[in-house]
Structure 1
Amino acid sequence: MLINMKKIISLLMLLGLATHLVHAQFVYDYLKAGNDYFVKADYASAAAYYEKYLGNDKHGATGGAEYDPYKPQLPNVKKDKAATSKEKAQWQLAESYRMLHYPSKAADAYKKLLEANTAQFPLAMFHLAEQLRALGKYEEASTAFTAFISVYANHDAYKTTAEREIRNLQFIQQELSKPGLQYFTVQPATDVLTSPGANYAPVWVDSTTLLFTSTRPQDSTAAAHHTNKLYQVQFANGNAAAITAPAIAQSKAFEQGVATVSANGTTMYFTRWNATGTRNAALYMASKQGGKWSDPVALPADINQPGFSAQQPFITRDGHYLLFSSNKPGGEGGYDIWYAPVDETGKTGTPVNAGSLINTADDEQAPFYYAASGTLVFASNGRVGMGGFDLFSTTGEIGHFAAPENMGYPVNSVKDDIYLTARGNSEDLLQEVWLSSDRAAACCLELFRISRKLPAPERPAPPVQEPVVVAAPVPDTAETKTLDNVYYAYDKAELLDGSEVSLNKLIDMLNQNQNMVIQISGHTDGKGSEAYNLRLSLARAQKCVDYIVSKGIDASRITAKGYGATMPVAPNTNADGSDNPEGRKLNRRTTFTILKR
């Protein structure tokens, strides 16, 4: 009996040792799996295994998070042999959540790391401050940034960024309390435009078709949550219908998204990157043939420079330029905005960096050019803003832009705001835009619709004295009316799509009144020289006349006049001398005057 008891005790000891060894093996496997996924930039899987290794969550803790879908690159993490396995795992757990845009989880992970060790990971305080700002904890964030600056010995981009972040926090307070916010409506996407994972990079293919990128699951497998693909949705009466996939090859070997389609709908440019291994992105092109897209072809090496990323393309409405973001050499640092000329076949020429007025030493991404007002919009994390990526705008032509300005709240938030798009021909860009933001999510980008409806400003009476150098004043009995929705390309006498609707109504009126004689008048705002504005306003009025005559109206019944900025209907500047963009918008108009009935 004694012998049997000894055998039993020995067996139990062996079982206990085996159990301990199996547990140790599982713990080691959790760490190894987390490290393997982290190196591959699969941060959702890495975070789940680090949580298991650290004993925080046996079921994973990513909450459906996805890795950063618009910056496919690895974090710059230095190996430090002095750090223990648990400290390093805690650091990489925090980094994983940061790259996932999951600030609540990231902040908790950085705090735990700072409680245990500060010397081995000097950037932990910096990144904690970023997460606190994203969570709206502005005082805590300011304290953390200040603490980081006081102990961080290097004078590098991190210290410069921390100093800018403190200014960002001041900017946030100003934006959240500025006047005029009541004119904005912010609506998160609903129904089919939402899903687990990221939904981002909206772009209008036409007036009713929205193309976007998503990491929504395709089936029940875990791997399906990590695939960026293109999707499209039709809108009817303002509502989104069922989601479909565009008829373009989407290989399992690649992730792809962030697309742009030419105005005639026949050419698509988009971003691709490897589903595994290196995540350097490249730009591809496909042509529509018989309702289907051709096999994608990579753009030339001067755009897709080996070893670097080119991503987030945008083709201008006239088809003359392809804008994109790249970290290739020759820029200002990080990701920069570049543009390349495009010929009539869709072939791209030599790319040009947009220059230091647009680009910073940090990242500029997701360019969008709105032709109706000549506005370039892009995202940047290298300027004073509300935090993370903010959207900035500037006016001008490709290659010739003014200094960018932050688009402010509520277009921007304290999290990441990127990928803005708009449709239509309104000179007010913010009449309706769609963008991507993680402002309302624990993680990941979502789609938002933002619209602005401004009250009609009071219109002062026009000047009593008529301009004598431009044209003779019209008779007192003449009837002058503004042509609604007639728009021109920025700084040009080129009619934009949609202007023909108003002009066609005028043609119908002339056909119904065969003796009627009219004058088309062009007016500009107060920017530019007098001579320039007179020439531009006359050229735009003549463009309308040419269109009407081309539809069969006798040229003797219609004339063009240019009044430049001499007949404003609203102030071009405010009482304090500052610019009044809404007033200038009202002054840029086309009118018609009935000279004879």
Structure 2
Amino acid sequence: MFSFFKIVCLVICIGWLPCRGQQVVVTKNPLQLADQYFAAGEYYTAAYLYEQILNPPANTPKDEVFPVYSKRGRPGYIIPKNITRQSILYKQAESYRLAHYWPQADSVYKKCPDYIDALYWMALCERSLGHYEEAAANLRQYLEATNPNKQYLEAAEKEWATLQYIKKQLARPDTVLTHIRKLNVPDSYEKGTFAVTPLTGNQYLVSKTKSDSPIVKGYNPNNSHLFQAVLENDSLTGVTQLPLSSADPLINQGAANSSANGNNIYFTQWQKLNGRTISNIYITRLVNGSWSAPQLVNGINTSGYSSKQPVCTPDGKYLYFASDRPGGTGGFDIWYAQLHEDGSVGEPENAGRTINTEGDEQAPFYHADSKTLVFSTNGRPGMGGFDLFSAQGNTITWSTPTNLGYPVNSSRDDVYFYALEKNTLLSDALIGSDRGSGCCLETYRINKLPKHNRMTGVVLDTKTHKPIPDANVVLTTPDGKTTQTTTDINGNYSFDSVDNSFNNHQLVVTKQYYRDTAAMVTIAKTDNTNLLTDQHINTDILLEKKFVLRPENVVTVYFDFDMYNLKKEAVRKLDSVYNVLLEIPAATLQISGYTDGKGSNEYNAILSDRRARACAEYFIQKGIAASRITFESFGSCCPLEMELINGRDNPDGRSKNRRALINITKD
């Protein structure tokens, strides 16, 4: 049954007769009258009149505006014998469906078993209501039926694909990242709220329906108008109508957008002419604090066709809009035109076949920060009705549009979109949708959390390129925060919930017997196939082995005070090492140089380096490849003997500290 609001609207509508192109001639035949309202596109009233015919009330006043009954207390109209009750029910179901009264339409279609196409329309209504299993059952029955009177076989196959798409969307694990709720707006349930876009500061433009007063006989008093409101958290408050004059009571105004400088508002005006809705784009200018009388925007409106839903790019260079003007690819297409400083526009250009289809594309929005065009279309696979799609690019080149998916899209119409700049597209966005139980499109707020980010990498040995397990890896962010982990058996490490830009992040890797290594994070590639987590793969980190001093493989040579030349005893020892290198080609040397404690740290560092180099150069001169030799200097850091005993100098101890250690690695 009708909601209270819908009943009131129908009662109001009964009090007026459509005029001009949608005028209905009152006759004494109620069925003809209902059919005329249906043909005029007044589906609310038609559904009500069909109900009066099918289920007349017990008492009807003589002065009924529409003389459905001739006498009080009993029906004055008898359905002709050549017209079945079920045929009227089917018309009533069509009226409910076209008016988007999905529960009522579904209920009445069920009373029409003689109409095979009722199964298809039942499935569509049930899909719109979110009853997907019932929709699939009815659609399967329709597709498998052998009835030759089926008119919507191709559409039914597309609807089946829609149900399969919905099933996949509902199973997506990343839906948990998206939080969506309806904006709190006064009278939104009864009058709708759509095309919410910023005006200035926290002031927003809003399109809503209102009953014009006083109600004048001869036109529908319920029209769309532009309002101004304050957006605070999830509520629109202080909703006041924008004073845009219009002499014609049939004019609707809405779907507006402010220019980048805030001095102009472009908006849509529309009305029904000869049963067809014609839309045009107008401009109003801010003059001395007030909005000027609307003027038609020359160049983008075409006589006999519709242009609507204008939106300005943030840089003020282009105006995007939807139009069914000649030169498009289907019904309504996305078009754009250059914006001039005075508010006028250039010659419109079609956004191209990458964006536009043979169906309808509407309500464009351009998000400059992500270079993304968002629009609504019923010409691509989706969840049913109009779905929101996005494509990256510019006015000339676009990527293939992508469905924004559930829960951004629903099984009904999702049309308008707006997102804040300097944010990711869905981190804070507004959409228009009729997914609720209200009369019209309402506005919903979307906040999608970013995907989980994981940075991974591997630590390898410099020479062997084998993975290094149990290495300690510390990640430091630019603000100094550190996170620590350890490589696994395959040398892999990972860090979760890190900034996906990774700018100026540093890794420090430490492992016993290896040199400590610091490196800036450099992402080699990103794997974003997982719907919940983006994996950013860092370049490999290579660790070089340090000196590993094992007594059984260490040869020690000594030096005179403040000297780095090799003594005879030292040469003899080095020759023995040389022989090992010849016998074992895989063997390598690690040489470390030391000094006693006399002299400054700076001087001792240089001296110990010279001692280590002297040993290395001896082997190189004898033909050992430099790649087999590494050396390091330690100064006076590591004395083997005490250099002072009871405060007295110990020359013998000092002599043993003036040394170089040659470690032979045989593996």
In structure 2, runs of 5+ residues without a counterpart are: 1-25, 61-80, 461-475, 481-498, 504-518, 539-667
Residues 276 and 336 of structure 1: CA distance in aligned 2, closer, same or farther (over 3 Å): closer
The Cα shift of 1:37 comes to 2.6
Contact preservation (8 Å) 2:234, 2:445:
no
Give 1:199's match in structure 2, choosing from 188, 193, 205.
Answer: 193
Give 2:229's match in structure 1, choosing from 228, 233, 243.
Answer: 233
Contact preservation (8 Å) 1:573, 1:579:
no
Residues 91 and 432 of structure 1: CA distance in aligned 2, closer, same or farther (over 3 Å): same
For 1:333-348, list aligned pairs within 5 A: 333-348=330-345
Residue 390 (structure 1) aligns with:
387
For 1:452-531, list aligned pairs within 5 A: 452-454=448-450, 457-459=453-455
SS at match of 1:457: strand
Alpha-carbon distance in structure 1 between the residues aligned to 2:190 and 2:58: 21
The Cα shift of 1:372 comes to 1.1
For 1:36-47, list aligned pairs within 5 A: 36-47=36-47
Counterpart residue identity of residue 262, structure 1: S
1:455-495 C-alpha deviation (Å, 9 max, x unpaired): 6634558999xxxxxxxxxxxxx99569xxxxxxxxxxxxx
Give 1:449's match in structure 2, choosing from 445, 449, 471.
Answer: 445
Counterpart residue identity of residue 141, structure 1: A
The Cα shift of 1:237 comes to 5.8
Alpha-carbon distance in structure 1 between the residues aligned to 2:157 and 2:93: 22
The Cα shift of 1:268 comes to 1.4
1:286-332 C-alpha deviation (Å, 9 max, x unpaired): 221112222212233x5322222211111111122211112222222
1:319-373 C-alpha deviation (Å, 9 max, x unpaired): 2221111222222212211112222222222222222211121111111111110
Residue 573 (structure 1) aligns with:
526
For 1:239-388, list aligned pairs within 5 A: 239-251=235-247, 252-274=249-271, 277=274, 278-300=276-298, 303-388=300-385
Alpha-carbon distance in structure 2 between the residues aligned to 1:271 and 1:58: 45
TM-score after normalising by structure 1: 0.65
1:388-423 C-alpha deviation (Å, 9 max, x unpaired): 111111111122110001101110111111101112
TM-score after normalising by structure 2: 0.59
Residues 294 and 450 of structure 1: CA distance in aligned 2, closer, same or farther (over 3 Å): same
Contact preservation (8 Å) 2:527, 2:534:
no
Contact preservation (8 Å) 1:126, 1:162:
yes
Size of the alignment, in residue pairs? Answer: 443
The Cα shift of 1:451 comes to 0.7
Counterpart residue identity of residue 227, structure 1: N
Bigger Rg over Cα:
2
1:242-297 C-alpha deviation (Å, 9 max, x unpaired): 21012322442311111111111111111111266442111112221112222212
1:77-125 C-alpha deviation (Å, 9 max, x unpaired): xxxxx9838566444433322222221112223333x32444xxx5x44
Residues 143 and 236 of structure 1: CA distance in aligned 2, closer, same or farther (over 3 Å): closer
Residue 109 (structure 1) aligns with:
108
RMSD, aligned CA: 4.0
1:497-527 C-alpha deviation (Å, 9 max, x unpaired): xxxxxxxxxxxxxxxxxxxxxxxxxx9989x
Residues 100 and 460 of structure 1: CA distance in aligned 2, closer, same or farther (over 3 Å): same
The Cα shift of 1:29 comes to 4.7
Counterpart residue identity of residue 228, structure 2: Q
SS at match of 1:109: helix
Counterpart residue identity of residue 322, structure 1: L
The Cα shift of 1:204 comes to 1.7
Contact preservation (8 Å) 1:205, 1:263:
no
Residues 579 and 43 of structure 1: CA distance in aligned 2, closer, same or farther (over 3 Å): closer
Residue 55 (structure 1) aligns with:
55
Alpha-carbon distance in structure 2 between the residues aligned to 1:85 and 1:178: 47
Counterpart residue identity of residue 35, structure 2: N
Residues 388 and 189 of structure 1: CA distance in aligned 2, closer, same or farther (over 3 Å): same
Alpha-carbon distance in structure 1 between the residues aligned to 2:85 and 2:191: 29
The Cα shift of 1:32 comes to 3.8
SS at match of 1:192: coil
Alpha-carbon distance in structure 1 between the residues aligned to 2:148 and 2:524: 52
Residue 125 (structure 2) aligns with:
131
Contact preservation (8 Å) 1:200, 1:446:
yes
The Cα shift of 1:228 comes to 1.0
Alpha-carbon distance in structure 2 between the residues aligned to 1:229 and 1:421: 19
Alpha-carbon distance in structure 2 between the residues aligned to 1:285 and 1:258: 12
Alpha-carbon distance in structure 2 between the residues aligned to 1:159 and 1:525: 50
Alpha-carbon distance in structure 2 between the residues aligned to 1:404 and 1:433: 18
Alpha-carbon distance in structure 1 between the residues aligned to 2:257 and 2:105: 33
Contact preservation (8 Å) 1:248, 1:292:
no
Alpha-carbon distance in structure 2 between the residues aligned to 1:330 and 1:342: 21
Alpha-carbon distance in structure 1 between the residues aligned to 2:149 and 2:349: 33
More helix as a share of residues: 1
Counterpart residue identity of residue 341, structure 1: Q
For 1:84-123, list aligned pairs within 5 A: 84=83, 89-112=88-111, 114-118=112-116, 122=117
Alpha-carbon distance in structure 1 between the residues aligned to 2:375 and 2:442: 17
SS at match of 2:393: strand
Residues 145 and 459 of structure 1: CA distance in aligned 2, closer, same or farther (over 3 Å): same
Counterpart residue identity of residue 287, structure 1: R
Alpha-carbon distance in structure 2 between the residues aligned to 1:57 and 1:259: 44
Residues 47 and 183 of structure 1: CA distance in aligned 2, closer, same or farther (over 3 Å): same
Residue 514 (structure 1) aligns with:
none
Contact preservation (8 Å) 2:368, 2:421:
no
Residue 185 of structure 1 pairs with residue 179 of structure 2: yes
Alpha-carbon distance in structure 2 between the residues aligned to 1:400 and 1:309: 25
Alpha-carbon distance in structure 1 between the residues aligned to 2:149 and 2:399: 34
Alpha-carbon distance in structure 1 between the residues aligned to 2:214 and 2:245: 22
Alpha-carbon distance in structure 2 between the residues aligned to 1:85 and 1:306: 43
Residues 198 and 47 of structure 1: CA distance in aligned 2, closer, same or farther (over 3 Å): farther
Contact preservation (8 Å) 2:310, 2:319:
yes
Contact preservation (8 Å) 1:138, 1:169:
yes
